[in-house]
Amino acid sequence: MAGRNFLFVPGPTNVPERVQRAMVVSMEDHRSSKFPDLTKSVLEDLKAVFKTTTGTPIIFPATGTGGWEAALTNTLSPGDLVLASRFGQFSHLWIDMITRLGFQVETVECEWGEGVPVEKYAEILAKDKGHKIKAVIATHNETATGVTSDIAGVRKALDDARHPALLLVDAVSSLGSIDFRMDEWGVDICVSGSQKGLMLPAGLGIVCASEKALKARESSTAPRCFFDFGDMIKANATGYFPYTPALPMLYGLRESLTMIKEEGLENIFWRHTYLASGVRAAVLDGWKLGLCAKDPKWYSDTVSAIVVPEGINGAHVIDVAFRRYNLSLGAGLSKVAGKVFRIGHLGDLNELMVLGALAGAEMSMLDVGIRIEPGSGVAAAQKYFRTHDNVPKKKVARSEVVYASQSMGSTEGAH
Amino acid sequence: MAGRNFLFVPGPTNVPERVQRAMVVSMEDHRSSKFPDLTKSVLEDLKAVFKTTTGTPIIFPATGTGGWEAALTNTLSPGDLVLASRFGQFSHLWIDMITRLGFQVETVECEWGEGVPVEKYAEILAKDKGHKIKAVIATHNETATGVTSDIAGVRKALDDARHPALLLVDAVSSLGSIDFRMDEWGVDICVSGSQKGLMLPAGLGIVCASEKALKARESSTAPRCFFDFGDMIKANATGYFPYTPALPMLYGLRESLTMIKEEGLENIFWRHTYLASGVRAAVLDGWKLGLCAKDPKWYSDTVSAIVVPEGINGAHVIDVAFRRYNLSLGAGLSKVAGKVFRIGHLGDLNELMVLGALAGAEMSMLDVGIRIEPGSGVAAAQKYFRTHDNVPKKKVARSEVVYASQSMGSTEGAH
Amino acid sequence: MAGRNFLFVPGPTNVPERVQRAMVVSMEDHRSSKFPDLTKSVLEDLKAVFKTTTGTPIIFPATGTGGWEAALTNTLSPGDLVLASRFGQFSHLWIDMITRLGFQVETVECEWGEGVPVEKYAEILAKDKGHKIKAVIATHNETATGVTSDIAGVRKALDDARHPALLLVDAVSSLGSIDFRMDEWGVDICVSGSQKGLMLPAGLGIVCASEKALKARESSTAPRCFFDFGDMIKANATGYFPYTPALPMLYGLRESLTMIKEEGLENIFWRHTYLASGVRAAVLDGWKLGLCAKDPKWYSDTVSAIVVPEGINGAHVIDVAFRRYNLSLGAGLSKVAGKVFRIGHLGDLNELMVLGALAGAEMSMLDVGIRIEPGSGVAAAQKYFRTHDNVPKKKVARSEVVYASQSMGSTEGAH
Amino acid sequence: MAGRNFLFVPGPTNVPERVQRAMVVSMEDHRSSKFPDLTKSVLEDLKAVFKTTTGTPIIFPATGTGGWEAALTNTLSPGDLVLASRFGQFSHLWIDMITRLGFQVETVECEWGEGVPVEKYAEILAKDKGHKIKAVIATHNETATGVTSDIAGVRKALDDARHPALLLVDAVSSLGSIDFRMDEWGVDICVSGSQKGLMLPAGLGIVCASEKALKARESSTAPRCFFDFGDMIKANATGYFPYTPALPMLYGLRESLTMIKEEGLENIFWRHTYLASGVRAAVLDGWKLGLCAKDPKWYSDTVSAIVVPEGINGAHVIDVAFRRYNLSLGAGLSKVAGKVFRIGHLGDLNELMVLGALAGAEMSMLDVGIRIEPGSGVAAAQKYFRTHDNVPKKKVARSEVVYASQSMGSTEGAH
């Protein structure tokens, strides 16, 4: 198939060429005297991404799922009770893991399309005078439904109830793309992965633990070894890892952290909001379709789940998109299988990539019989992009750029 | 700047990932006993791309401009007369070279936007009873104006006049993208380069010489050394090169020739026509603008030069496209500087890449004040793509694909 | 520092250029309809590497340490008894993990430099009439001491005692380098990783489970989730993974498996024996030093631990080698820290790489005051290589090659 | 064939991983407003490599052979007389080119193994009162015989004779490896290529022209176009190229220039002398063989041509080295074909790479029946390396490093 694939699943995301290049490295001795430079620099720079100064980032050669497991087994003991809420496939899977690993869970069932039920959490926590609940989990961004939750609200619920439970957050599909504030929100463990906002292939489970979480680890009796924070922290202290690290991934991470610094975290968040707004303009204003997210306050800036009309199978849209237009969209998972298709709009993206994807989604929908106005989505997104700035005002916003008559290099040229 | 650049200049074109990968090679001894395998296989496979069985492909570590020089100096002697026509920057530059290298040239001046004036050539050749004209040059695809010429027609003009002049053709921006028939059209030297339809970086000047051209070389007295066919042919015969070859480029060429075989030359031509038709639908039906090419028969399937309205500087469109939308468009060169901007649509491209570029061109034009209907170009191209097949009927065309309800892999999944 | 590092730690090993190239891939949808082709082909080809037809290979985005954990948690229940032996840092660490994960362990302590005590195992198993021992673990190749153990012997001990315990084997630093026979030896779980004989970066924990092991999993109650075989096997069945796979690693594995097929497993084993014999010739015949391995039957073909003379710190040899000669040697670990240095000789290696490393080790030893004969090690290894075949007789062995007077390409040439 | 090839031909040389990585770039518009940054920075940094402040570096997408042609055609007119000397295949080929391009040449024939005959040049120039000689050419480093010439001496001969002829120098296999001083030596055109000391693949012909050479160009009437300095200089002035540049090569050059800056030119020269001294110790002291270079003053620090004993064909050594040991050596060319084999020791090299190659050459010589002492060459080179500093005293030389007992990272570790 000629040309590039348009990758619009909500992860893995496009690996920037700079990062891809950085990963082309020969193997080296991971116990050499120069190796600690790399370890220390990535661990240090990860702190800024988590917005923490007191937290401890830990990099597992694993995935976000491994990060979930690390978060639970390092802080809880068998039989401990966890408060959770289910509103999508990923919040569901974490709950499922809690049970499988031998912990108890009190689950608040929500509609898919809603986020963490902050009021309900507040109520439950307030009632839990005996502090049976040892940890509260919250999925910051539910990848299956395109819903972003209010983690600051969860923190407030805990604080209002003066509840000592740990706050464990899944930020796999938000970290580095949607504002996340480890310290300010009092998050105890944040779980993320390499293949989303960090713009790397999958292969690293990246977590950050608060001092309180590390303290909890000392009395936690859940069996663990590969995912033990202690081994990592001990080895990391001198710049090493307890077992052979995934070198290309670490070098890639080094480069992606540099890129994040260069663009600036706040500018990255702004860009994600801006591109997501373009997508939502296409869906809502152009195509006149609905989002799975029930309310604008839930809208995710990294992924949108678009509800297909009754009688249409969302999987068909995805199939046509992939096979006819080389466009990869996300499928509806589990409860919303067939009912939605998803556009991931996170990571290393710009307007034209998004517009190409919207054009492809549009054609695919028309091909399978969805009656939308041809060209309407692209036009709505174009309008949004043309009338909004792609960087915050603090930087020189696009609206202020005067397009000079500067010509593009030489106007003469040979082959 | 986040995201990928949309490269829509008419060369260099996008290097497919497979080719880029193939170029990551360690250096090796280019005089080893295993090296000839590579040389021989690329030279052999190039023949199919030129559509020749009797011609001799030659690969210079240079560019298409070097190929022009090789074509002239290997066949002509100082003072020899060449028949040429000028209708764009590239046909102009080759004429300029003829003079600089000490040959005579009779130039037919044409409007920029027209192609090789076949009738005029026929007339001149018929009159040249003394066969003073030693060579006729023709630019198959004029990259500056988006015009494809009728090389078969030039051959006919030569044959009708029973004229023995050599036919030298510039196919830099057509070879491997637009049908070119070395043997059938009796082309004596075809000049091309690596950075267009062959989907490589610039760095190789690739020519093909007919037996007649090689015969002419024997009596040609123009000074030449680096570009001498003789040194190349002698060394190539045993699988070597007279001087150190550009190894990564040869390995890249090996891979691009394999990709061309896999897709099939005729399918590639079809795809270029199909994508170009989408672009022209956007320009003519959507934006209601004009092309630099004066007549549909001249329309190029690899590059379109779009005329901007009076009072607008085409360079501004390009500047906004690049700086605001990360889209690289081609500038108007020389005589048409400022009057046009160009969209290159050749090489490793598909529908969504083209639609993204059209969306960007559209926004850029609007941004600099060109009054086109927002979204109109994209919608026109989408319509073209949705209603036409992207492969010839011999293959299973897209219109015949039944989109099954096959779902896309698992509908459950974790990070 | 100019030039390439000579990487002679026993893992990670050199990633061949072909594999490195294969890993330069754009991200893609791991749930697309074409993805299963990749999954299925690597899982299938792994079977040959494990020498199994009935076993089930499983690929975790983790490391060999993760593989150890998977082996234990998928087959045992809390409190289960495991028979183990300790004779090096890696056999030690697995034993340590058994305890940390909540199992019981009966450890046979051996001298470091010996291997699995088969007779002792036989004795213990024979006595265990009640079959309290649920699993026997064995480290096929102890990376810390350069010792290879007799897994067939362990199998025989189990069979002789008609003992039903599972046989779990660490083949991290042997698989793909030293003969390993899953089916013939009745191994129930073999644990390996990507960064040794499979010639990839670290990042994959690769295990293979027998039917008996999968059966045991059904009644095993150890908590597990990330490393659960069940999730993997269920998703793998349709060509997918339960969580996002490490794409570049899978593509790299695809290529390394192809290379292994091309060279042939038996030829690879032969090459490892041949290169290791050259190293041992240098150590024993040239330098007149000793190996940590107590007896020739234990000699490992993938790593040699060389005992430095009394009064010398092995770490100094390694330090000089790295800083002065850009040579990475392995350190002595734990009990043998300072007493040995290690040369890893596994993976993508040839004679000259080994000779360069031996030359470097030699100079480093002289630099820190070890009184060896200058040049003696290299000369001894050269002698071995010149007088032995580097491929088995079934292929055309080197000794049979007639060196023709064929010249190397052209004997003329320019830059 | 397992393991890495040992590339010891005198070009192409090993491309450092950093440079290889830098070359993995997407294509881009070479006429964009950001492109000039790259052009200008590489042209500027090349000056330091040529040791010039007044010269103008020019980069052709060609090879060193193209550079020779550019040097001649930009400065001479048809029939002009050039003074030259022949003492190897490369000095021969440049002389051959002079004739083929229509110039006159007075050639001083020397023994192969000698360098530029400075006294003879002085004599001829002194006699040429009418200044018929328009240019003097000199091969700084004759790659075929391993001979470095005295360019300062040639300058002195010109000055002593107050002769206005241009001084054109081939520094293809010396630039960036052996001290070359454009300004100090009054060189008018220096010709080099990318694939030697600049550590890139072949594909760039890099020349530097003095102001005097550029002045001469104005009255030179030799036909030229592709290699015309004028087109280049005009386009380079604004940061562009007259035809499409070889982008990956330019990005690679950017990185190699950075590496040269980091190591320091003088340190690089020192390293080349140091490594070459090790090779010569092996040849002369170890193997007791001779060099093609007739006198120590001619010894080249980038390539050594080793004379094989009577009755032995040097090509056999090379053949065995390549096929049995994966070692690429240079063949004897033309007059010395069969009589010598060459070891290239330039570019990105270190001690262990050289020792591995020497070990391989040693074994290959023994295999074809040359009676040298086994291990003698390696031991002699090792001795040289151990007793000499690999950096000049100004840096902290190796002999001053105190090897601390610092251990190499952790002495515990898992897979």
D279 and D253 in one domain?
A: no
Per-residue pLDDT, B398: 65
Domain span holding position C234: 17-262
Per-residue pLDDT, D396: 61
What is the nearest CA distance from D216 to chain C, expressed in angstroms? 26
DSSP classification of residue D173? T
Determine contact: C322 vs chain A, CB below 8 A: yes
Instruction: Report whether B147 contacts B300 (CB < 8 A).
Output: yes
Q: Residues D382-410: what's their mean pLDDT? A: 69
- A298 CB-near residues (< 8 Å, 6+ apart): A113, A114, A115, A146, A147, A148, A149
Per-residue pLDDT, A400: 59
C39 and C162 in one domain?
A: yes
Confidence of residue A191 (pLDDT cuts 50, 70, 90): very high
Per-residue pLDDT, A393: 78
B318-373 pLDDT, tens per residue? 999 999 999 999 999 999 999 999 999 999 999 999 999 999 999 999 999 999 99
Question: Where are the extended beta strands (E) located within D102-196?
Answer: 104-109, 133-139, 141-142, 147-148, 166-170, 189-193
A258 and A293 in one domain?
A: no
Instruction: Report whether C128 contacts C161 (CB < 8 A).
Output: yes
- D262 CB-near residues (< 8 Å, 6+ apart): none
Collapsing DSSP to helix, strand or coil, B249 comes out as helix
Which of A262, A280, A310 is at the close of a domain? A262
Bond preceding residue A223 cis, omega within 30 of 0:
no
Which of B216, B234, B262 is at the close of a domain? B262
Collapsing DSSP to helix, strand or coil, A317 comes out as helix
- Burial (Cβ within 10 Å: 0-12, 13-18, ≥19) of residue D197: buried
Q: Do C315 and D406 touch (CB under 8 A)?
A: yes
Inter-chain CB pairs, A–C, below 8 Å: 175
Which of B262, B286, B303 is at the close of a domain? B262
CA distances, A252 to each of A204, A243, A256, B5 (Å): 11, 19, 6, 20
Cα angle A287-A288-A290, degrees, rounded to a multiple of 5: 110
A133-172 pLDDT, tens per residue? 999 999 999 999 999 999 999 999 999 999 999 999 999 9
Residue B342 lies in a domain: yes
Q: Residues A308-319: what's their mean pLDDT? A: 97
B138 and B110 in one domain?
A: yes
C317-367 pLDDT, tens per residue? 999 999 999 999 999 999 999 999 999 999 999 999 999 999 999 999 999
The pair of structure tokens assigned to A60 is 């597992």
What is the nearest CA distance from D298 to chain C, expressed in angstroms? 21
D156 and D62 in one domain?
A: yes
- C86 CB-near residues (< 8 Å, 6+ apart): C92, C95, C107, C108, C109, C110
Instruction: Report whether B187 contacts B151 (CB < 8 A).
Output: yes
* pLDDT at residue B175 tops 90: yes
Model pTM? 0.96
Q: Whose CA is closest to B214, among B194, B236, B196? A: B236
Position with higher pLDDT, A405 vs C52? C52
Determine contact: C339 vs chain D, CB below 8 A: no
* pLDDT at residue B138 tops 70: yes
Confidence of residue C408 (pLDDT cuts 50, 70, 90): very low
C342 marked as part of a ligand binding site: yes
Collapsing DSSP to helix, strand or coil, B275 comes out as helix
A165 and A294 in one domain?
A: no
* pLDDT at residue A414 tops 70: no
Q: Do A31 and D414 touch (CB under 8 A)?
A: no
Per-residue pLDDT, A406: 41
The pair of structure tokens assigned to D216 is 């001469």
The pair of structure tokens assigned to A275 is 């591109």
Q: Please report which residue ranges of B296-370 form alpha helices under DSSP H.
A: 314-325, 351-367
CA distances, B119 to each of B85, B156, B158, C153 (Å): 12, 10, 11, 90
Instruction: Report whether B158 contacts B165 (CB < 8 A).
Output: yes
DSSP codes of every residue in C361-373: HHHHHHHTT----
CA distances, A410 to each of B311, D29, D35, D39, D185 (Å): 21, 12, 11, 14, 36
Question: Where are the extended beta strands (E) located within C9-132?
Answer: 56-60, 81-86, 104-109
A85 pairs with which residues across the strands? A108
Q: Of the candidates B23, B61, B102, which has its C-beta nearest D202's C-beta?
A: B61
Determine contact: B404 vs chain C, CB below 8 A: no
C139 pairs with which residues across the strands? C170
Per-residue pLDDT, A1: 86
B139 and B273 in one domain?
A: no
C284 and C220 in one domain?
A: no
Residue B407 lies in a domain: no
- Burial (Cβ within 10 Å: 0-12, 13-18, ≥19) of residue A26: middle
* pLDDT at residue A352 tops 80: yes
Residue B408 lies in a domain: no
Q: Whose CA is closest to C13, among C203, C194, C275, C204? A: C194
A348 and A233 in one domain?
A: no
Q: Do A223 and C69 touch (CB under 8 A)?
A: no
Distance (Å, whole) CA C245 – CA A11? 11
Residues of C in contact with B240 (CB under 8 A): 409-410, 413
- Burial (Cβ within 10 Å: 0-12, 13-18, ≥19) of residue C234: middle
Residue A410 lies in a domain: no
Determine contact: D238 vs chain A, CB below 8 A: yes
Residue D69 lies in a domain: yes
Residue of B nearest to A16 (CA): B3
Per-residue pLDDT, B397: 65
Instruction: Report whether A14 contacts A348 (CB < 8 A).
Output: yes
- Which of D19, D31, D38, D228 to mutate against chain A (most A CBs within 10 Å)? D31
Structure ipTM: 0.96
- CA-only gyration radius of chain B, Å: 22
Q: Of the candidates A331, A357, A412, which has its C-beta nearest B333's C-beta?
A: A412
Q: Is the dihedral of CA A349, A352, A353, A359 positive or negative?
A: positive
CA distances, D380 to each of B304, D279, D304, D358 (Å): 67, 9, 16, 10
The total number of residues shown for chain B amounts to 415
What is the nearest CA distance from B350 to chain A, expressed in angstroms? 5
Q: Do B172 and A11 touch (CB under 8 A)?
A: no
The four Cα atoms B310, B311, B314, B315 give a dihedral, to 10 degrees, of 160
Instruction: Report whether C91 contacts C146 (CB < 8 A).
Output: no
Distance (Å, whole) CA D137 – CA D104? 12
Per-residue pLDDT, D1: 86
D48-93 pLDDT, tens per residue? 999 999 999 999 999 999 999 999 999 999 999 999 999 999 999 9
Q: Do B26 and D9 touch (CB under 8 A)?
A: no
DSSP classification of residue A406? -
Residues of B in contact with A359 (CB under 8 A): 351-352, 355-356, 359, 378, 382
Cα angle C33-C35-C40, degrees, rounded to a multiple of 5: 115
Q: Do A328 and C24 touch (CB under 8 A)?
A: no
Give chain B's count of helices (H) and strands (E): 13, 14
Could you identify the residue written with the tokens 């998928």?
Answer: C74
B166 and B191 in one domain?
A: yes
* pLDDT at residue A408 tops 50: no
Collapsing DSSP to helix, strand or coil, D199 comes out as coil
* pLDDT at residue A398 tops 90: no
Return left, alpha or beta for A68; rule: phi > 0 is left, psi -120 to 50 is alpha, else beta. Answer: alpha
Distance (Å, whole) CA B245 – CA B208? 18
Distance (Å, whole) CA A384 – CA A387? 5
D302-338 pLDDT, tens per residue? 999 999 999 999 999 999 999 999 999 999 999 999 9
Interhelix angle for C229-237 vs C211-219, to 10°? 120
Determine contact: A348 vs chain B, CB below 8 A: yes
Task: Count the domains in chain D.
Answer: 2
B69-78 pLDDT, tens per residue? 999 999 999 9
Position with higher pLDDT, C398 vs B298? B298
Residues of A in contact with C24 (CB under 8 A): 20, 23-24
* pLDDT at residue C403 tops 50: no
Q: What is the CATH number of the domain that holds B365?
A: 3.90.1150.10
Q: Residues B201-220: what's their mean pLDDT? A: 98
Confidence of residue D405 (pLDDT cuts 50, 70, 90): very low
* pLDDT at residue A394 tops 80: no
Residue of B nearest to C61 (CA): B415
Residue C400 lies in a domain: no
Confidence of residue B393 (pLDDT cuts 50, 70, 90): confident
The four Cα atoms D348, D352, D357, D358 give a dihedral, to 10 degrees, of 130
Q: Of the candidates A348, A356, A374, which has its C-beta nearest B353's C-beta?
A: A356
Residues of C in contact with A63 (CB under 8 A): 61, 226, 243-244
What is the H or E stretch that residue A316 is in? Answer: helix A314-325
Residue B28 lies in a domain: yes
What is the H or E stretch that residue D181 is in? Answer: none
- A393 CB-near residues (< 8 Å, 6+ apart): none
Determine contact: D23 vs chain B, CB below 8 A: yes
Residue A398 lies in a domain: no
Residues of B in contact with C17 (CB under 8 A): 24-26
Q: What is the CATH number of the domain that holds A165?
A: 3.40.640.10
The pair of structure tokens assigned to B354 is 């083209």
Distance (Å, whole) CA C83 – CA C79? 13
Chain A neighbours, 3+ Cβ pairs < 8 A: B, C, D
Residue of B nearest to D226 (CA): B66
Residues of B in contact with D172 (CB under 8 A): none
Per-residue pLDDT, B412: 56
The chain-wide mean pLDDT, for chain C, equals: 95
Distance (Å, whole) CA B155 – CA B183? 11
C112 and C246 in one domain?
A: yes
The chain-wide mean pLDDT, for chain A, equals: 95
Q: Of the candidates C23, C31, C245, which has its C-beta nearest A331's C-beta?
A: C31
Q: Do C331 and A31 touch (CB under 8 A)?
A: yes
Residue of C nearest to A193 (CA): C244
Q: Do B348 and A378 touch (CB under 8 A)?
A: no
B294 and B149 in one domain?
A: no
- Which of D225, D227, D243 to mutate against chain B (most B CBs within 10 Å)? D225
Q: Residues D8-28: what's their mean pLDDT? A: 97
A86 pairs with which residues across the strands? A109
Determine contact: A402 vs chain B, CB below 8 A: no
Other beta carbons within 10 Å of C314:
28
The four Cα atoms A358, A361, A365, A366 give a dihedral, to 10 degrees, of 60
Q: Of the candidates A268, A352, A409, which has its C-beta nearest B359's C-beta?
A: A352
Other beta carbons within 10 Å of D405:
10
* pLDDT at residue C252 tops 80: yes
Per-residue pLDDT, D403: 47
Determine contact: C263 vs chain D, CB below 8 A: yes
Determine contact: C22 vs chain D, CB below 8 A: no
Distance (Å, whole) CA B174 – CA B196? 8
Determine contact: A261 vs chain B, CB below 8 A: no
Residue of C nearest to B37 (CA): C409
